[in-house]
């Protein structure tokens, strides 16, 4: 027979504090790890560069998250000849958009480091040697 007593005796809610609502500004904060942002940035750079030049290493990234902002550095390899400035700008834009969307942090800076250029054969182009 249940007499209303639970372990410890007394009423079931006895000794408990009433639930209170905590204002959003007073709650804890979620911190996105630097390495998580770096992985998102590297994947976004791969997306922006498809297809990668043959024999190119995939892009890699480093990130530093401070408060609500992430500063990202992406290292990549590009084909040559190409419009390197335009390719870097496209990578910057895409990385910033994807990190903001997936990690929820502002990205005021994306530094793109071109680590290597891969010469691609352009059909019909004359082969010249520099001496």
Nearest to 115 by CA among 64, 39, 45: 45
28 DSSP 8-state letter: -
**pTM of model > 0.75:** no
**Class of residue 25 by CB neighbours under 10 A (exposed 0-12, middle 13-18, buried 19+):** exposed
**59-89 residue pLDDT tens:** 999 999 998 899 999 999 999 999 999 999 9
Regions of the chain short of the pLDDT cut 70: 1-15, 17-18, 122, 124-131
pLDDT of res. 28: 72
User: What are the residues facing 110 on neighbouring strands?
Assistant: 72
Match domain 30-119 to its CATH number in 2.60.40.10, 3.90.1150.10, 3.30.300.20, 3.30.420.40: 3.30.300.20
Per domain, the residue ranges of the chain are: 30-119
């Amino acid at each position: 027979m249940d007499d209303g007593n639970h372990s410890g005796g007394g009423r079931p809610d006895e000794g408990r504090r009433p639930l209170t609502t905590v204002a959003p500004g007073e709650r804890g904060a979620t911190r996105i790890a630097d390495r998580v942002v770096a992985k998102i940035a590297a994947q976004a750079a791969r997306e922006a560069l498809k297809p990668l030049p043959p024999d190119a290493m995939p892009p890699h990234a480093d990130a530093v998250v401070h408060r609500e902002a992430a500063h990202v550095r992406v290292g990549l390899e590009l084909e040559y000849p190409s419009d390197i400035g335009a390719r870097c700008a496209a990578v910057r834009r895409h990385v910033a958009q994807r990190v903001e969307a997936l990690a929820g942090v502002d990205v005021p800076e994306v530094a793109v480091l071109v680590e290597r250029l891969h010469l691609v054969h352009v059909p019909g182009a004359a082969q010249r040697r520099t001496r």
